[in-house]
């Protein structure tokens, strides 16, 4: 083999090796590292938020609101105050819902939240980690579900318990950021969908197997 051919072969091998190193270093950096943390309960688990953007398919749960800035799904990622993509973070565990973030120009205006499906309002109250919260009963593919809307201004929920809401009906407005309305959290909506008829507002669970009781909302947003 000529000296020129050897040089070309060396360059090709070096380029391939560099590409592989770059690829795998990127994968390792992105891979979430599970860690241990305290358990959460109904009184301590946060609702992460989600802002709905536009009422799209009334038959399926699709978040609706004026904002559409989605926090990356972290459902299969064990979140801690150290590794959370949102800082500061108070909670630990596997996130059961999806967060929709508000835009900077929405911090001082009312951001409306609309029902993502049709069904009665089951409860509206304050809860630790959420501030104002509403839970609605709905159907998804003929199966019973409950929808959790977190970080709402409780006083803005005009519907009464048991009142039927249609998909696209205005439910509430988001609570003011870093206030009692959001229990000190940033201004955003937590949207969670729990399977069955039981009211479960946990924002995080400690066992990944428990996530099977929650619907992956991300697939309905694609």
CATH code (residue 131): 2.70.70.10
17 pLDDT band (50/70/90 cuts)? very low
- Kindly state the average pLDDT of the residues 157-165: 98
Question: Does residue 66 contact residue 172 with C-beta atoms inside 8 Å?
Answer: no
Q: Mark whether 184 and 98 lie in a shared domain.
A: yes
What three-state secondary structure class fits 154? helix
Above pLDDT 70, what percent of the chain?
A: 65
- Residue 83: name the closest of 32, 25, 29, 24 by CA: 32
- Residue 204: name the closest of 128, 146, 104, 106 by CA: 128
Q: Mark whether 79 and 23 lie in a shared domain.
A: no
Give Dmax (Cα) for the chain. Answer: 85
Strands 119-127 and 188-195: unpaired
User: Is 97 within a domain?
Assistant: yes
User: Is 51 within a domain?
Assistant: no
How many structural domains is the chain composed of? 2
Q: Mark whether 23 and 75 lie in a shared domain.
A: no
Residue 219: pLDDT over 90: no
pLDDT at 52: 33
Torsion angles phi and psi, residue 105, rounded to 5: -80, 5
User: Is 188 within a domain?
Assistant: yes
201 pLDDT band (50/70/90 cuts)? very high
Q: Mark whether 162 and 79 lie in a shared domain.
A: yes
Q: Mark whether 84 and 153 lie in a shared domain.
A: yes
Full domain range(s) for residue 15: 1-31
User: Is 47 within a domain?
Assistant: no
Q: Mark whether 99 and 18 lie in a shared domain.
A: no
Q: Given strand 204-205, what is the order of strands in its sheet? A: 78-79, 93-95, 204-205
Residue 40: pLDDT over 80: no
Q: Mark whether 191 and 134 lie in a shared domain.
A: yes
- Kindly state the average pLDDT of the residues 203-212: 94
User: Is 49 within a domain?
Assistant: no
Reported pTM: 0.70
- Kindly state the average pLDDT of the residues 12-21: 37
- Kindly state the average pLDDT of the residues 138-148: 97
Q: Can you tell me the distance from the alpha carbon of 150 to that of 63, in angstroms, rounded to the nearest whole number?
A: 12
Q: Mark whether 13 and 121 lie in a shared domain.
A: no
Above pLDDT 90, what percent of the chain?
A: 58
User: Is 140 within a domain?
Assistant: yes
Q: Mark whether 15 and 105 lie in a shared domain.
A: no
Q: Mark whether 147 and 190 lie in a shared domain.
A: yes
Average pLDDT, the chain: 75
User: Is 37 within a domain?
Assistant: no
């Amino acid at each position: 083999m000529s000296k020129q051919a050897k040089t070309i072969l060396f360059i090709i091998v070096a380029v391939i090796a560099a590409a592989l190193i770059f690829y795998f270093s990127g994968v390792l950096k992105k891979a979430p590292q599970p860690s241990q943390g305290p358990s959460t309960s109904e009184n301590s688990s946060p609702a992460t938020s989600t802002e709905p953007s536009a009422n799209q398919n009334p038959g399926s749960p699709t978040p609706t609101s004026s904002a559409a800035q989605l926090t990356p799904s972290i459902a299969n990622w064990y979140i801690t105050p150290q590794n959370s993509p949102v800082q500061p973070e108070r909670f630990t565990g596997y996130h059961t819902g999806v967060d929709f973030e508000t835009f900077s120009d929405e911090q001082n205006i009312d951001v409306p939240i609309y029902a993502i499906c049709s069904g009665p309002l089951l409860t509206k109250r304050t809860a630790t980690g959420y501030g104002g919260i509403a839970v609605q009963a709905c159907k998804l593919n003929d199966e019973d579900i409950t929808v959790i809307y977190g970080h709402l201004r409780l006083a803005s929920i005009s519907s009464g318990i048991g009142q039927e809401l249609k998909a696209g009906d205005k439910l509430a407005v988001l609570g003011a950021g870093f206030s009692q309305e959001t229990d000190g959290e940033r201004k955003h909506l937590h949207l969670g969908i729990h399977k069955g008829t039981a009211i479960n507002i946990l924002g995080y669970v400690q066992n990944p197997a428990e996530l099977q009781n929650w619907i992956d909302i991300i697939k309905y947003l694609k």
